[in-house]
Structure 1
Amino acid sequence: MTRVLVLRPEPAASTTVARARQLGLDADAVPLFEIEPVAWNAPEATVFDGLLVTSANAVRHGGEALQAVRSLPVYAVGGATAAAARDAGFDIASIGSAGVDDLLDSVSPDLRLLHLAGADRKPPTESRQRITPVTVYRSCPREVALGEVAGAVALIHSPRAGRRFAELVEDRRTVTLAAISPAAADAAGAGWCKVAAAETPSDEALLALAAQLCKTLRPS
């Protein structure tokens, strides 16, 4: 059976592994990064209309400063992010399904949004809203042992993960990449057995792609 490598940080890695195994995939969690909170001071909540949350890590690691902005509704990039925000006590104003740019295109251009973000982030493209980013967490590279990766399918959840995985793999020719977006695929560079991007930037679409790729591969 083709090995599937889940490279995203915990606890999301374990969630993805569980979903993958439900699909019959031979998945293992090999997180390339560890999430750490970053100390931050919350601005005055009354000058914003809502919170832009593009990762569940923002509410998991936002710390006590989140209390100062808990009155603001959350504009979440996807269902998992919305669920984490709801569990943290926030009201949800809108949930996207195809990335942050599509989310922002679907809401009022007059919104003033506080973006609870990671240190490594890509700003939204040509957003019409007034967006103020604040760093509340960072992802730090881990020392990892990938084990045997020949013949495996690696799930690339971000451009940074693509770059990091490319640094760690000596022989790319027998490794297939399933990327959550074209940007994540491009970041991994060339020389892989095969590279494909999910139809939408979601864990569900990425796992569906991985399952499809596994059917076309034979274990080495």
Structure 2
Amino acid sequence: MTESPPLIVTRPEPGNAATVGRAQALGFDAHAIPLFAARPLEWAVPAARDFDALLLTSALAPDMAGPDLARIASLPAYAVGAATARAADAAGLTVAMTGSAGAQQLLDAMTSGKIRNILWLCGRDRSEFDARGAAIEARPCYAVDPVPPPPDWSELIAAPAVLLAHSVRAATRISELVGDARGHLALVAISPPVAAAAGGGWARLAVSEQPDDAAMLAQVRALWHKGAK
């Protein structure tokens, strides 16, 4: 693994450090290059009795919600991805289901189980999906804002490297920042919509089989082996 190209992790903290740590433990030359910073927002906590379940599409929601999260802890939590489920558990929530194929598939499973009133604890900027007839109330509890690339960004993308895109916004911003340099860069997207947002022209573009770090890093390994042949 020592001859693998640099792996650029662009997600905000605290997730960035966690991903870099996992990648380095596997032998990747991983670099923390956050292109966004997360911050908590004030949010009004609704009455738990008005909802059947809590939907979490990012680990940032339970991480950033603060102590008011305890007031809705009686709601069963449905989490997209293992990292979100772990964050929910650490925040004192009871995880009823962990989705492994994105928010839409998890929502489909919820509505097929007759869950009709859903509280979505989310970010200020979020993707939309089909509610399948359910009533979904979005409560933003955090915001993720762009930050200037660190000084070593230009040097890292000047040579072959692999970038990780954990969200549609990340893929869009990475695409804008790399410009024509994408011809010698590879990108691993956490989901098909994220890959679509990245656009074309990459040396290689891969999609994670599940929305978590382990699956993304498996794709990085596969890309490296293909490139080494």
The two structures have a TM-score, normalised by structure 2, of 0.89
| In 1, Cα distance between equivalents of 2:14 and 2:196 | 25
Deviation at 1:60, TM superposition (A): 0.8
| Mapping for residues 1-220 of structure 1, pairs under 5 Å | 1=3, 2-107=5-110, 108-145=113-150, 146=153, 147-149=155-157, 150-170=159-179, 171-217=181-227
Question: What secondary structure, in the 3-state scheme, does the structure 1 residue paired with 2:215 have?
Answer: helix
The SS at the match of 1:46 is helix
Paired letter, 2:122: A
Return the alpha-carbon distance in structure 2 between the equivalents of residues 13 and 93 of structure 1: 26
State the alpha-carbon separation in 1 of the partners of residues 73 and 209 from structure 2: 33
Give the gaps of 5 or more residues in structure 2. Answer: none
Could you tell me how far 1:126 is from its partner in structure 2?
Answer: 4.3
1:174-212 CA distance string (max 9 Å, x none): 111111112111212222212121222222111100111
Find the residue that maps to 2:139 and give its secondary structure. strand
- CA separation in 1, counterparts of 2:71 and 2:48? 7
Cα distance 1:166–1:114, how it changes in 2: closer, same or farther (>3 A)?
Answer: same
Q: Which has the higher helix share?
A: 2
Q: Supply the RMSD in Å over aligned alpha carbons.
A: 1.6
Looking at structure 1, the residues matched to 99 and 196 of structure 2 have their Cα atoms a distance apart, in angstroms, of 23
Deviation larger for 106-115 or 31-40: 106-115
- Number of residue pairs matched by the alignment: 218
Deviations 1:152-171 (A, max 9, x none): 01011111111111222142
CA contact (8 A) 2:102 2:191 kept: no
- 1:125 deviates by 2.7
CA contact (8 A) 2:33 2:149 kept: yes
Gaps of 5+ in 1: none
What is the TM-score normalised by the length of structure 1? 0.92
Q: Output the CA distance in 1 between the equivalents of 2:80 and 2:204.
A: 28
Percentage of identical aligned residues = 43
Contact 2:8 2:164 survives alignment (8 Å) = yes
